[in-house]
Structure 1
Amino acid sequence: MKDYLVKAIAHNKQVRAYAAITTETIEEVRCRHNMLTVASVVLGRSMTAGVILGAMLKGEEKLTIKMNGGGSIGTILVDANAKGEVRGYVSNPHAYAGLNQQGLLDIKSAVGTNGILSVTKDIGLNHPFIGQIPIVSGEIGEDFASYLLHSEQVASSVGVGVLVNPDFTIQASGGFIIQLIPNTEEKTIRLIEERLQTMPSISSMIGQSITPEQILKQLLGEENISIFETIPVQFRCECSRDRISNAILSLESEEIQDMIDTDGKAEAHCHFCNESYYYSKEDLETLLKVSIS
C-alpha cells in the first residue's frame, strides 16, 4: 500500500481528523541513514506527526520540527509541507535503547525529557510562527498533543506508531491526529474519549495493514465521519547539485578562489537525505568563471 493521508470531519463538523500511513516513507529514511530500531521508531513517529501537521497547512506553507530532550538519540529534525512531502533525521541513527518497565523499547530515555519541542511554521509572512513547549514524555505522540494544546490552543489526541522487523526494516508506520473545535458538545467528547480508551494501539492497527480511512472509522465510528481529501505522502529532500552550485555561486569570487587555492575541491553533505556532492578543482574553476562573467 502506497503511503497516503486522509483528512476528514466528524460528528457534525465538531471534529477534525487526520490519519496517515507512512511505511514506505520511513523505510526510505531508514535506508538512507542506516538507522537501528530506536532511531527508526523515534524518527518515524516524529515524521508521521510532522506530515499530518503539514497537511493542516495550505499552498506553499511549510514547517520545521525540532526536538532534543537530552537523550541518546540527540536532535530530531523534521521538515514537512502541505503537499504530503516530508524529510527528517536524528543526530544519532545508531542509538541504543533498552526495555522499560513494561518490557517495551524505552523510547523515553532515548529521546529524553530535558528539552524543548519547537514547531516553526513558514506561512508566507515576514516572520515565521514559532511554538515551543517543554518535552512532556519523550514518547512523541503525547508531546505533540501537548504542543497542539498549549501552543495552538487546540485539544487534540495524537497517536503515532512504528513497527520494526528483526532485520531493522520497517514493517509498518502511521498515525492520527483528532482535534476538537471550540464548543464541541460534551456528549461528543465523551464518545471520543470512550473510543480512544478501548481501541487497540496505533501500532497494533497499522501492523494489520489497516488503511487511514479504517483508522478514523475505528476512532470515530463509520457513521460519524466524512472524508474530504486524500493526499499522497512521500519523502522528498530539497537538496540537489544545482542547488549546491547556486549556493557556491552566491559566494564572493574571492571565496571561491580561496576554496580552489586552499583545498582544490569542495564537498557538501545534506543531513536530511545523506547525499554528498563533490566538486573537483575543475568544477570550482568552472563555477568561478560563471561567477565573474
Structure 2
Amino acid sequence: MSDYLIKAIDKTKNLRLLTISAKNLVQEAQTRHNTWSAASAVLGRTLLAGELLAGAQLTDQEELTIRLLGNGPVGPTIVTAKSDLTVKGYVKNPHIALPAKEGGHIDVKKAVGQGWLEVTKDLGLKEPYTGQVPIVSGEIAEDIAYYLTKSEQIPSAVGLSVFVNPNNTIGEASGFMLQALPGASDSLITKTIERIDHLPALSTAFLAGMTPEELAESILGNDCKILTRENVTYKCDCSKEKYRQILATLKTSQIETMIKEDHGAELTCNFCGNKYQFTEKELRDIIQ
C-alpha cells in the first residue's frame, strides 16, 4: 500500500477526520537512523502526528515542528512537517529497546518519560508561534489530543500506531485525528467516540489490510464524505549550501581552528544522516 493521508467529513459536516497510512515513510526514518524498537515507535508516532497536524492546519509554504521533550531513555524527539506533507525527524537516542508491556506492546510511555510537548508553527509571519503543554501520557496520541484541546481549543481525539517487527523493520504505521467543529452536538461526539472505542487496535486492523478510507468510514459512518487523498513522504531538505550558511555564522577563529587542526570539516544532518564535507579551501572561502 502506498503512503497517503485522507481528509473526510461526517454527513452533518460537524466532524472533521484525517486518517493516514505511512508504513514506508516510517520505514525510511527507521533505516536512516537505525532505530531500535522503542525509538522506532516514538519517532514513528511523532512523524504520523506531524503529518496529521500539517494536513489539518497548514497551507501554502507553512511548516510546523513538534518537540517531544521527555526525560525517558529515547531523549528529545524532533519532527518537522510541511504543508506539502513531507516530513522529517529524529530521536536523540535511536538505539533504545525496552522490555515489552503485557500483551507484547512496546512501552512507549516509559521510552518518552515526563516533560513537555511543544508545537511551533511557522506561518510566514514575523515570528513563529509556539504552544507548549506538559506530557500527560507519553503515548503521544493522547498528548497531541491534549495539546489541541488545551493550547488551540480544538476538541480532538487522536490515535497513532507503529508496529515494529522483531528484526526492527516497520510492519505498519497508521493513525487518525478527529476534530469537533463548532456545530458538533454532545450526542454526535459521544456516538463517534463510542465508535472509536469499539475499533480493533490500529496495528491489528492495518496489518490485516485496512485502508485509511475504511478507517474513516468506521469512525464517521459509511455515509461520510472523503474530501481529499494526498501522498505523504519522508523528505529532508538539507543541502551543502545550507550547511555552508551555518558555518558562515561561526566566529572566524572557530573556522580557522577547523582548518588548522582538522584540515576541513564534516557536518552530519540530524534529520537524515547525510554528511557534508568541506575542504580547507572551502572553509577559507567562507571566512574571506
- TM-score, scaled to structure 1: 0.92
Alignment correspondent of 1:273: 272
Alignment correspondent of 1:150: 150
Alignment correspondent of 1:228: 227
1:71 aligns with 2:72: yes
DSSP-derived class of the 1:153 partner = coil
**Kindly tell me: are residues 260 and 189 of structure 1, through their superposed partners in 2, closer, same or farther at Cα, counting changes over 3 Å?**
same
Q: How does 1:135-214 map to 2 (within 5 A)?
A: 135-214=135-214
Q: Which amino acid aligns with 1:23?
A: K
Alignment correspondent of 1:242: 241
Q: Which amino acid aligns with 1:283?
A: E
RMSD: 1.8
Q: How does 1:47-62 map to 2 (within 5 A)?
A: 47-56=47-56, 57-62=58-63
Contact 1:160 1:203 in 2 (8 A): no
Alignment correspondent of 1:80: 81
The count of residues paired between Structure 1 and Structure 2 equals: 287
Residue 105 of structure 1: how far off its partner (Å): 2.0
DSSP-derived class of the 2:273 partner = coil
Contact 1:25 1:233 in 2 (8 A): yes
Deviations 1:231-253 (A, max 9, x none): 11001112112222343356576
Contact 1:163 1:173 in 2 (8 A): yes
DSSP-derived class of the 2:145 partner = helix
**Kindly tell me: are residues 251 and 98 of structure 1, through their superposed partners in 2, closer, same or farther at Cα, counting changes over 3 Å?**
closer
DSSP-derived class of the 2:147 partner = helix
Distance across 2 between alignment mates of 1:128 and 1:280: 35
Contact 1:72 1:96 in 2 (8 A): no
Q: How does 1:246-265 map to 2 (within 5 A)?
A: 246-249=245-248, 256-265=255-264
Q: Which amino acid aligns with 1:242?
A: E
Distance across 2 between alignment mates of 1:209 and 1:242: 43
Distance across 2 between alignment mates of 1:64 and 1:262: 36
Contact 1:11 1:188 in 2 (8 A): no
Q: Which amino acid aligns with 2:76?
A: T
Contact 1:4 1:230 in 2 (8 A): yes
